[in-house]
Structure 1
């Protein structure tokens, strides 16, 4: 299938992926932009997964203050000082700090949630599920659905990205990993609110 250059350009702007990859994804998707994005994300996530095992010893500490009332500091690591000086990486760090200010995550990733917190959340959701009067064999699925929602609210990487809620913060970072070509990790953050 032949795809027009304007569609390829739109896909490149949305994903940050190279021209040929965008063209191939659009051809594979039959010209459908959303399907092409899904194809690229699958390929991009696979590419970023390979890079995820590489060490990240360089990076930046970024900060963001919102109206003098909320302040965030975040450490984002990469593999080389060359990337740390790159404008795209610096913008990513600023975007992550802004996201943290707006979304108030408690953890970076699912794996960071402590067993105590998980047990308490599961117990609350089980009590709520039982109160619905649904059969016992369905309660486990209800609890798992609510746990997925909990992760999406409490974990930075699972949250809808504040500048593009159609993707998660993890997907946004993965697109930068693919574009920049290095592993990128959010190492830690702190968020302050005036009066708390």
Structure 2
């Protein structure tokens, strides 16, 4: 029945447009077709060739900082700590706290956020990490949230890169039998690539069959709309071509190297490794973007904080 249909608001259309880059009327139609379900509307636009892969940026709102630290090339940690306002994110008290959280992450054995929050705060072992956070909230007078951390320990080399004063942070790990300034500089350049180009995977080996099947389904729907008269076997070839193109965008080693478009990232790493006489392979990256995936609504952020604080 018509009465059951969700009313599509201008703000919903605006949000979908920010997420997909599709036209205003296309976004309105997609929301009407999917009864206001944002995820289904994104899928609808993609299948009709009116949107690129979902842009997460449209959903980013929480402020805060990403910080990283590396110890002797072998151990690294990266953290994201959120605040409610940009003003607090630039505050020296908050930045000092994020640095302490990063040092905590560098030393931690915790496997998840709950264990991390429960362990002794290394700056004052009479408190837990959660206690230190609660204390800092009362000092700063704003909700804060230690949202995530990741620690990398390697036999090879790990480097960090922070972009935009803490908006994006990256760790890149490589297995390598040589660690020198050239190797570090190469991995730092790769980390800058990750920050700028936001790959999903290191290489094609990591891409799951489920992901490939899902993308094929979307590309098939697009190709049939664009080429209604083309036979199935031609459309199949087109899909393979488009999927390969997408792999070159989402797999780090397949990407065109930003600082030298004649090379892929894989070729650049190979070149530096050869010059350094190293057997080197990029094995992992971690990319944190402040507020990534958090809803715009403040109540969602407050709920995430409350859940972490156990309130």
Q: TM-score range by the shorter chain?
A: 0.5 to 0.7
- Whether 2:203 is the aligned partner of 1:109: answer yes
Give 1:58 deviation, angstroms.
3.6
Q: Hey, which of these two has a bigger chunk of helix by percent? A: 1
- Whether 2:164 is the aligned partner of 1:70: answer no
Give 1:177 deviation, angstroms.
2.4
Distance of 1:163 and 1:59 partners within structure 2: 24
Distance of 1:69 and 1:110 partners within structure 2: 28
**Corresponding residue for 2:284?**
188
Matched residue SS, 1:105: coil
Scaled by the length of structure 2, what TM-score is found?
0.42
Matched residue SS, 1:195: coil
Distance of 2:233 and 2:269 partners within structure 1: 38
**Corresponding residue for 2:21?**
none
Which of 249, 266, 270 lines up with 1:170 in the alignment?
A: 266
Give CA deviations for 1:16-65 in whole Å, capped at 9, x if unaligned.
xxxxxxxxxxxxxxxxxxxxxxxxxxxxxxxxxxxxxxxxx742111101
Which of 118, 122, 139 lines up with 2:216 in the alignment?
A: 122
**Corresponding residue for 1:13?**
none
When structure 1 is superposed on structure 2, of 174-183 and 118-127 the one drifting more is: 174-183
- Structure 1 segments of 4 or more deviating over 2 A? none
- Whether 2:223 is the aligned partner of 1:143: answer no
Matched residue SS, 1:166: coil
Structure 2: runs of 5 or more not aligned:
1-153, 293-311
Distance of 2:283 and 2:196 partners within structure 1: 19
- Cα pair 2:183 2:273 within 8 Å, conserved: no
CA-based RMSD of the aligned residues comes to 1.3
Structure 1: runs of 5 or more not aligned:
1-56
**Corresponding residue for 1:18?**
none
**Corresponding residue for 2:249?**
153
Matched residue SS, 2:240: helix
Which protein is bigger by CA-based radius of gyration?
A: 2
Give 1:74 deviation, angstroms.
1.3
Matched residue SS, 1:164: coil
Higher normalized contact order (CA 8 Å, seq sep 6+, divided by chain length): 1
Distance of 2:276 and 2:201 partners within structure 1: 25
- Cα pair 2:172 2:191 within 8 Å, conserved: yes
- Matched pairs, number: 136
Give CA deviations for 1:136-180 in whole Å, capped at 9, x if unaligned.
120111001101111111000000112112211011011122212
Distance of 2:184 and 2:247 partners within structure 1: 27
Distance of 2:189 and 2:255 partners within structure 1: 14
- Cα pair 2:253 2:266 within 8 Å, conserved: yes
Which of 187, 195, 203 lines up with 1:93 in the alignment?
A: 187
Distance of 2:239 and 2:199 partners within structure 1: 21
Scaled by the length of structure 1, what TM-score is found?
0.66
- The aligned runs of 1:10-25 (5 Å cut-off) are none
Distance of 1:61 and 1:182 partners within structure 2: 15
